[in-house]
Chain A
């Protein structure tokens, strides 16, 4: 995909995440936001807190990477490293394979409040700014160290895509939790 189309798609997806969080999660009361569908399943806030932890790591690095403009403007296609391709594919919401979450990224058991939602929305604002600035950057430059293996660097484009797709995955998970938050009668 060409950089402009690539970035536009990611911006649209990010704005959609904001809309979903504001329309579907913000109106819920705290009891429902913290409701876990099963002991080992995440509540809506746990899903968002998980994403917040990733954003705390990746957003500053992405901001730093886009601050360095491309050496020369090019319309070269956005390319993927093996690691980048694998990471993005793994995170697609349509990929139903479950993964164990890294311990420090797992919010299970933490006390969560509405600030998780506000932090999530703040991270999206930052991400939208980064995506804007990325238009002037080289999306193929290896610029972003992988969170769990910092010796390995992702290309800027694939890192941005990974972050957005990972967020889509867990926001959809949170939407499924929300769908179960209603009383029904079984008889």
Chain B
């Protein structure tokens, strides 16, 4: 079933409601912020949000759908992260530093996203201390998450890697197909199936 073509307004409304739950963000700032998310993207399964080599300076908000972030190599596509509904997603080195993306971000299902440009985003953070604080907290959480995944991959035992993910993000097993979780945990799909029994 194709997503409704008018998802952008509901997506901005959802973003507004979600940010409205953050106690220190003033409602007026939230409204102004949401209004800047004017870019709309609809992806079919398999489409790329960001292709390798592409410089992409938009920050996306996923209204619905599922995407994987992967690093392409000659022999495999290594999953490093996933985005589902209510997630903000970008190829970080590209978004932050303007570098061509080494990662690919690909839709695993039909997706609908809205986006804000980096320049508008930065300008908004410069003028709203509350949002600058919000972004600081989000970056801290993202960095902690990245380090936790780094430690996952330092574990020699696949069972330990799986246990860490289960503890950190139990819901992910209901959302992301097994083969991508196996790639994320650097094990074969067979090993993952065996460990989950």
Q: Does the CB pair B88–A184 fall under 8 Å?
A: yes
Q: Does the CB pair B87–A185 fall under 8 Å?
A: yes
What is the CA–CA distance of A187 and B139 in the complex, to the nearest angstrom?
A: 10
Q: Does the CB pair B17–A32 fall under 8 Å?
A: yes
A: which residues have CB within 8 A of B? 28-29, 31-32, 35, 37-39, 176, 179-187
Q: Does the CB pair B81–A186 fall under 8 Å?
A: yes
Contact partners of A28 in chain B: CB under 8 A: 21
**Interface SS of chain A:** loop
Q: Does the CB pair B18–A182 fall under 8 Å?
A: yes
The 6 closest A-B pairs by CB, nearest first: A187-B92, A31-B17, A186-B83, A185-B142, A185-B138, A185-B88
Q: Does the CB pair B89–A183 fall under 8 Å?
A: no
Number of inter-chain CB pairs below 8 Å: 65
Contact partners of B92 in chain A: CB under 8 A: 187
Residues of B in contact, count (CB < 8 Å): 30
Interface residues of B in 90-104 (CB under 8 A from A): 90-92, 95
Q: Does the CB pair B95–A187 fall under 8 Å?
A: yes
27 A-B residue pairs with Cβ-Cβ distance under 8 Å, sorted by A, are A29-B20, A31-B14, A32-B17, A38-B85, A39-B1, A176-B171, A180-B86, A180-B171, A181-B21, A183-B18, A183-B19, A183-B61, A183-B87, A183-B138, A184-B88, A185-B88, A185-B138, A185-B139, A185-B141, A185-B142, A186-B83, A186-B87, A186-B89, A187-B69, A187-B90, A187-B91, A187-B95
What is the CA–CA distance of A32 and B85 in the complex, to the nearest angstrom?
A: 13
Contact partners of A38 in chain B: CB under 8 A: 64, 85
Interface residues of B in 69-118 (CB under 8 A from A): 69, 81-83, 85-92, 95
Q: Does the CB pair A181–B18 fall under 8 Å?
A: yes
Q: Does the CB pair B18–A186 fall under 8 Å?
A: no
Other 5 A-B pairs with CB < 8 A, given A31-B13, A186-B88, A187-B95: A28-B21, A32-B18, A180-B171, A186-B82, A186-B89
